[in-house]
Amino acid sequence: MGPWVGPSASLTLEEGGLGSGTTPAEVHVTASDVMVRRARLADAELIAAFVNAARSDNHRGPYAQLSRRDVALRFGQVGFMIAESRGRVVGLLGWQVENLVVRVSDFLITYGRDPAEIGRVLVSRMEEDAAELLVEAVILFLPSRPSQALVAFWESLDYEFQDLDDLSPAWQEAVAEYDLVGRGVMMKRLRDDLIRRPI
Protein backbone atom coordinates (compact mmCIF):
# COMPACT_ATOMS: atom_id res chain seq x y z
CA MET A 1 0.00 0.00 0.00
CA GLY A 2 0.96 3.57 -0.22
CA PRO A 3 2.39 4.73 3.10
CA TRP A 4 0.04 7.70 3.05
CA VAL A 5 -3.25 6.05 2.18
CA GLY A 6 -4.41 4.81 5.53
CA PRO A 7 -2.45 3.01 8.23
CA SER A 8 -3.68 -0.50 7.47
CA ALA A 9 -5.39 -0.42 4.09
CA SER A 10 -3.84 -0.85 0.69
CA LEU A 11 -6.75 0.81 -1.03
CA THR A 12 -9.16 3.43 0.20
CA LEU A 13 -11.74 5.90 -0.91
CA GLU A 14 -12.44 6.67 2.70
CA GLU A 15 -9.48 8.96 3.31
CA GLY A 16 -11.31 12.14 2.48
CA GLY A 17 -13.47 10.56 -0.14
CA LEU A 18 -16.31 8.17 -0.65
CA GLY A 19 -18.14 7.35 2.55
CA SER A 20 -16.71 10.07 4.78
CA GLY A 21 -17.63 13.42 3.27
CA THR A 22 -15.50 15.64 1.06
CA THR A 23 -13.59 18.83 1.44
CA PRO A 24 -14.01 21.62 0.73
CA ALA A 25 -17.79 21.22 0.50
CA GLU A 26 -18.26 24.17 -1.82
CA VAL A 27 -16.07 22.70 -4.56
CA HIS A 28 -18.17 21.05 -7.26
CA VAL A 29 -16.15 18.76 -9.50
CA THR A 30 -17.77 16.54 -12.09
CA ALA A 31 -16.29 13.91 -14.38
CA SER A 32 -16.32 16.31 -17.33
CA ASP A 33 -14.08 18.68 -15.37
CA VAL A 34 -11.42 16.06 -14.66
CA MET A 35 -8.23 15.42 -16.63
CA VAL A 36 -6.11 12.37 -15.80
CA ARG A 37 -2.43 12.08 -16.59
CA ARG A 38 0.52 9.95 -15.60
CA ALA A 39 2.51 11.55 -12.81
CA ARG A 40 6.18 12.42 -13.23
CA LEU A 41 8.91 12.56 -10.65
CA ALA A 42 8.66 16.35 -10.89
CA ASP A 43 5.14 15.98 -9.40
CA ALA A 44 6.45 14.54 -6.13
CA GLU A 45 6.01 17.77 -4.20
CA LEU A 46 2.52 18.26 -5.65
CA ILE A 47 1.50 14.74 -4.63
CA ALA A 48 2.91 15.19 -1.12
CA ALA A 49 0.94 18.41 -0.66
CA PHE A 50 -2.27 16.74 -1.89
CA VAL A 51 -1.94 13.79 0.48
CA ASN A 52 -0.98 15.96 3.46
CA ALA A 53 -3.97 18.24 2.85
CA ALA A 54 -6.31 15.23 2.67
CA ARG A 55 -5.02 13.91 5.98
CA SER A 56 -5.40 17.29 7.62
CA ASP A 57 -8.93 17.80 6.31
CA ASN A 58 -10.13 14.46 7.61
CA HIS A 59 -8.59 14.62 11.08
CA ARG A 60 -7.56 10.96 11.03
CA GLY A 61 -4.15 11.62 12.50
CA PRO A 62 -1.77 12.00 13.87
CA TYR A 63 0.12 11.44 10.63
CA ALA A 64 3.70 12.38 9.86
CA GLN A 65 3.88 14.91 7.07
CA LEU A 66 4.71 13.31 3.75
CA SER A 67 7.79 14.82 2.11
CA ARG A 68 8.80 15.19 -1.51
CA ARG A 69 11.48 12.58 -0.85
CA ASP A 70 8.91 10.11 0.50
CA VAL A 71 6.95 10.37 -2.72
CA ALA A 72 10.08 10.20 -4.88
CA LEU A 73 11.03 6.93 -3.18
CA ARG A 74 7.52 5.61 -3.80
CA PHE A 75 8.01 6.24 -7.53
CA GLY A 76 10.55 3.43 -7.44
CA GLN A 77 7.77 0.99 -6.53
CA VAL A 78 4.61 2.17 -8.30
CA GLY A 79 3.40 4.38 -11.10
CA PHE A 80 0.95 7.17 -10.34
CA MET A 81 -1.94 8.76 -12.15
CA ILE A 82 -3.14 12.20 -11.10
CA ALA A 83 -6.65 13.56 -11.61
CA GLU A 84 -6.75 17.34 -11.92
CA SER A 85 -9.56 19.86 -12.22
CA ARG A 86 -9.15 23.59 -12.72
CA GLY A 87 -5.52 23.46 -11.72
CA ARG A 88 -6.18 21.46 -8.55
CA VAL A 89 -5.25 17.85 -7.83
CA VAL A 90 -8.47 16.00 -6.98
CA GLY A 91 -7.43 12.36 -7.08
CA LEU A 92 -4.49 9.98 -7.07
CA LEU A 93 -4.10 6.34 -8.12
CA GLY A 94 -1.00 4.20 -7.68
CA TRP A 95 -0.60 0.97 -9.61
CA GLN A 96 1.87 -1.79 -10.38
CA VAL A 97 1.93 -4.11 -13.37
CA GLU A 98 3.63 -7.49 -13.16
CA ASN A 99 2.99 -10.78 -14.92
CA LEU A 100 -0.01 -9.32 -16.76
CA VAL A 101 -1.71 -8.37 -13.50
CA VAL A 102 -2.36 -4.87 -12.13
CA ARG A 103 -2.28 -4.29 -8.40
CA VAL A 104 -3.89 -1.03 -7.30
CA SER A 105 -1.78 0.10 -4.36
CA ASP A 106 -2.92 3.68 -3.68
CA PHE A 107 -6.23 5.43 -4.22
CA LEU A 108 -7.20 8.79 -2.77
CA ILE A 109 -10.03 11.14 -3.70
CA THR A 110 -10.74 14.31 -1.76
CA TYR A 111 -12.56 16.99 -3.72
CA GLY A 112 -16.02 17.15 -5.23
CA ARG A 113 -19.60 16.64 -4.16
CA ASP A 114 -19.47 13.23 -5.83
CA PRO A 115 -15.97 11.79 -5.33
CA ALA A 116 -17.09 8.57 -7.01
CA GLU A 117 -17.26 10.49 -10.31
CA ILE A 118 -13.59 11.39 -9.98
CA GLY A 119 -12.80 7.84 -8.94
CA ARG A 120 -14.51 6.42 -12.00
CA VAL A 121 -12.46 8.64 -14.31
CA LEU A 122 -9.21 7.57 -12.64
CA VAL A 123 -10.06 3.87 -12.72
CA SER A 124 -11.22 4.07 -16.34
CA ARG A 125 -7.89 5.59 -17.41
CA MET A 126 -5.96 2.94 -15.47
CA GLU A 127 -7.97 0.17 -17.12
CA GLU A 128 -7.43 1.67 -20.60
CA ASP A 129 -3.67 1.79 -20.06
CA ALA A 130 -3.71 -1.71 -18.59
CA ALA A 131 -5.57 -3.05 -21.64
CA GLU A 132 -2.88 -1.64 -23.90
CA LEU A 133 -0.36 -3.66 -21.89
CA LEU A 134 -2.47 -6.81 -22.40
CA VAL A 135 -3.15 -7.03 -18.67
CA GLU A 136 -5.44 -9.92 -17.76
CA ALA A 137 -6.84 -8.69 -14.45
CA VAL A 138 -6.84 -5.91 -11.88
CA ILE A 139 -6.59 -6.85 -8.20
CA LEU A 140 -7.56 -4.64 -5.27
CA PHE A 141 -6.72 -5.11 -1.60
CA LEU A 142 -9.41 -3.66 0.62
CA PRO A 143 -9.17 -2.49 4.23
CA SER A 144 -10.08 -5.04 6.88
CA ARG A 145 -13.44 -3.31 7.43
CA PRO A 146 -14.32 -1.53 4.19
CA SER A 147 -17.33 0.75 4.23
CA GLN A 148 -20.43 -0.19 2.26
CA ALA A 149 -19.85 2.87 0.10
CA LEU A 150 -16.32 1.74 -0.75
CA VAL A 151 -17.47 -1.77 -1.71
CA ALA A 152 -20.42 -0.39 -3.68
CA PHE A 153 -18.08 1.92 -5.61
CA TRP A 154 -15.90 -0.95 -6.82
CA GLU A 155 -18.88 -3.21 -7.47
CA SER A 156 -20.36 -0.49 -9.69
CA LEU A 157 -17.22 -0.83 -11.82
CA ASP A 158 -17.66 -4.64 -12.08
CA TYR A 159 -15.09 -5.60 -9.44
CA GLU A 160 -16.03 -8.68 -7.42
CA PHE A 161 -14.83 -10.32 -4.23
CA GLN A 162 -12.66 -13.34 -4.91
CA ASP A 163 -11.63 -16.38 -2.93
CA LEU A 164 -7.85 -16.70 -3.22
CA ASP A 165 -8.17 -20.42 -3.90
CA ASP A 166 -10.21 -19.63 -7.01
CA LEU A 167 -7.53 -17.43 -8.57
CA SER A 168 -5.20 -18.69 -11.27
CA PRO A 169 -1.61 -19.47 -10.17
CA ALA A 170 -0.31 -16.28 -11.80
CA TRP A 171 -2.91 -14.18 -10.00
CA GLN A 172 -2.21 -15.92 -6.70
CA GLU A 173 1.43 -15.03 -7.14
CA ALA A 174 0.47 -11.39 -7.63
CA VAL A 175 -1.07 -11.26 -4.14
CA ALA A 176 1.37 -13.58 -2.36
CA GLU A 177 3.52 -10.80 -0.90
CA TYR A 178 0.57 -9.09 0.80
CA ASP A 179 -0.61 -9.86 4.31
CA LEU A 180 -4.25 -10.63 3.57
CA VAL A 181 -5.35 -11.72 7.04
CA GLY A 182 -8.75 -10.15 7.64
CA ARG A 183 -8.71 -8.32 4.32
CA GLY A 184 -10.81 -8.68 1.22
CA VAL A 185 -9.62 -9.06 -2.34
CA MET A 186 -11.65 -7.74 -5.25
CA MET A 187 -10.81 -8.41 -8.86
CA LYS A 188 -11.88 -7.55 -12.37
CA ARG A 189 -10.88 -9.59 -15.38
CA LEU A 190 -9.92 -7.40 -18.35
CA ARG A 191 -9.31 -10.22 -20.83
CA ASP A 192 -11.21 -13.43 -21.49
CA ASP A 193 -8.41 -14.87 -23.64
CA LEU A 194 -5.71 -15.43 -21.03
CA ILE A 195 -2.14 -15.35 -22.28
CA ARG A 196 -0.38 -18.66 -21.71
CA ARG A 197 3.16 -17.67 -22.61
CA PRO A 198 5.43 -14.68 -21.92
CA ILE A 199 5.13 -11.74 -24.32
* Chain segment 124-163, per-residue pLDDT in tens: 999 999 999 999 899 887 777 788 888 899 999 999 988 7
* Chain segment 37-55, per-residue pLDDT in tens: 999 999 999 999 998 888 7
CB 112 within 8 A of CB 23: no
Domain boundaries, the chain: 31-189
Instruction: Over range 97-126, report the average pLDDT.
Output: 85
- CA distances 3 to 63, 77, 100, 135, 192, Å, are 10, 12, 24, 25, 33
The helix-helix angle for 148-156 and 115-132 (nearest 10°) equals 40
Superfamily, domain 31-189:
Gcn5-related N-acetyltransferase (GNAT) (3.40.630.30)
* Neighbour-count burial for 5-20, b at 16+ CB within 10 Å, e otherwise: bbeebbbbbbbbbbbb
Q: Which amino acid is at 143?
A: P
Q: What is the DSSP letter of 26?
A: T
